[in-house]
Amino acid sequence: MITEFMPIFLAMLGATLIMLVLWEAFETIVLPRRVTRRVRLTRLFYRLTWRSWSALVHLLASGRRRETLLSFFGPLSLLFLLSLWAGGLISGFALLYSASGSALHAPETTVGFFTDIYLSGTTFFTLGIGDVTPQTTLARVLTVVEAGMGFAFLALIIGYLPALNQSFSRREVNISLLDARAGSPPTAAEMLRRHSHSQGLESLRQLLHEWERWSAELLESHLSYPVLAYFRSQHDNQSWIAALTTILDTCALVMVGVEGACERQAELTFAMARHVVADLSLVFLTPPLEPNRDRLPPAALTELRASLATAGLRLHEGEPADAKLAELRRMYEPYVNALAHRLLLTVPPWLPPAGHADNWQASAWEQRRKVQPEIGAPMKRGEHF
């Protein structure tokens, strides 16, 4: 009895596996919108692999090397996910071949499931070796369908990867531009201080307008392709979370009251940026998480006001201003903190670290010269670059 129902079971299992992979690939690659289902294999895949990878990296490395290893996860996980999809489709068709009785002509005397896997793999990747061929009409139909599906899968990947790279590049351009405008890491205090010159507030208004559009593009790209959130910036002290938080901090200060500033544009940019962190927290199932410590305690706020006053910018003082700033911070800081905790990114401070140079002011060559001999200088025995 079990033997009689085995082909039906294998056929159902193979068809289910194929449909499951195709639906996941469709939702991930083709469907350019956020999928609201809580149970998704792709989402489960990233949750499990990210936790495993980050735990392993924390055991094996620290400091800058840890950040480098974490940056490998985005590209590697994408390649691994595509391989799992391909393997799932190949296995699904192999189950269908087996359910049809493994009606194959092969050099081996005994045709088994491994022969089905081999035929499925060569058909999916359209190798055309021809040493194993189907014998029945059903098996031939399956090979044609699988070959067409292999071509379609390859076409989707060819279109998917460039779209990811373009979205990542567009995201990183503005993050790099923020280096000279807000410091490294970026901070709201440094952003306002560097725009305190003549015509600086007009430049700030234009900058916030550009970041309103950047936030909208970030929302669209990361809702469509959540894997981009795992792609990290080139510098350890930069990230899309840090940039977005800095813009929100800056907008909050302007909205509280920087005399002569562009309050209306700050409100528009704040609304768009807050929309981003709230929606992405739903995508990654990260509920709002209050920070362990206050990013801007009263003493730091006093220092911030003094720093801006020295630069010629006056921030409104008093209990109403402090209450409004606290209310604005509650609207986005828990979301930012939750996303940063999930992705192991650092939330930037409000005030710049003392004595820290911007990325553009530093050079890896300068660091190398501190530990390596001058070019052209005689080298001691055993020394090498």
pLDDT reported for residue 105: 73
Which CATH class, in words, describes the domain spanning 2-158?
A: mainly alpha
- Cα 314 to Cα 254: distance, rounded to the nearest angstrom: 10
Q: Among positive and negative, which fits the CA dihedral 109, 112, 114, 115?
A: positive
The domains of the chain are located at: 2-158, 167-351
pLDDT band at 96 (very low <50, low <70, confident <90, very high): very high
Where would I find the H helices in 199-348? 200-224, 240-257, 263-283, 298-310, 319-343
- Cα 242 to Cα 247: distance, rounded to the nearest angstrom: 9
CB 168 within 8 A of CB 225: no
- Cα 235 to Cα 213: distance, rounded to the nearest angstrom: 23
pLDDT reported for residue 335: 96
User: pLDDT for 55-82, tens place per residue?
Assistant: 999 998 888 889 899 999 999 999 999 9
Closest to 251 measured CA to CA, from 231, 226, 276, 224:
276
Whether the per-residue pLDDT at 384 is higher than 50: the answer is: no
Q: Among positive and negative, which fits the CA dihedral 193, 196, 197, 201?
A: positive
Whether the per-residue pLDDT at 140 is higher than 50: the answer is: yes
Average pLDDT over residues 356-377: 59
CA angle (183 as vertex; 182, 187 as ends), nearest 5: 60
Q: What are phi and psi of 258, to 5 degrees?
A: -105, 120
Peptide bond into 185 cis (omega under 30): yes
- Reading the block at residue 337, the tokens are 């903190």
Q: What percent of the chain is predicted at pLDDT more than 90?
A: 50
pLDDT band at 373 (very low <50, low <70, confident <90, very high): very low
Q: What are phi and psi of 375, to 5 degrees?
A: -65, 130
pLDDT band at 109 (very low <50, low <70, confident <90, very high): low
- Reading the block at residue 139, the tokens are 């098996």
Where would I find the H helices in the chain? 2-25, 41-60, 63-71, 73-99, 113-124, 137-182, 188-193, 200-224, 240-257, 263-283, 298-310, 319-343, 364-371
User: pLDDT for 20-45, tens place per residue?
Assistant: 999 888 888 877 665 555 557 888 89
pLDDT band at 269 (very low <50, low <70, confident <90, very high): very high
Whether the per-residue pLDDT at 86 is higher than 80: the answer is: yes
Per-chain mean pLDDT for the chain: 86
End-to-end Cα separation, the chain, in angstroms: 73
Whether the per-residue pLDDT at 380 is higher than 70: the answer is: no
User: pLDDT for 285-344, tens place per residue?
Assistant: 899 999 888 999 999 999 999 988 888 888 888 899 999 999 999 999 999 999 999 999
pLDDT reported for residue 381: 40
Q: Return the H-helix or E-strand segment holding 104.
A: strand 104-105
How distant, in Å, are the alpha carbons of 19, 182, 185, 189, 288 from that of 353? 53, 12, 8, 11, 27
Beta bridge partners of 315: 258
CB 14 within 8 A of CB 89: no
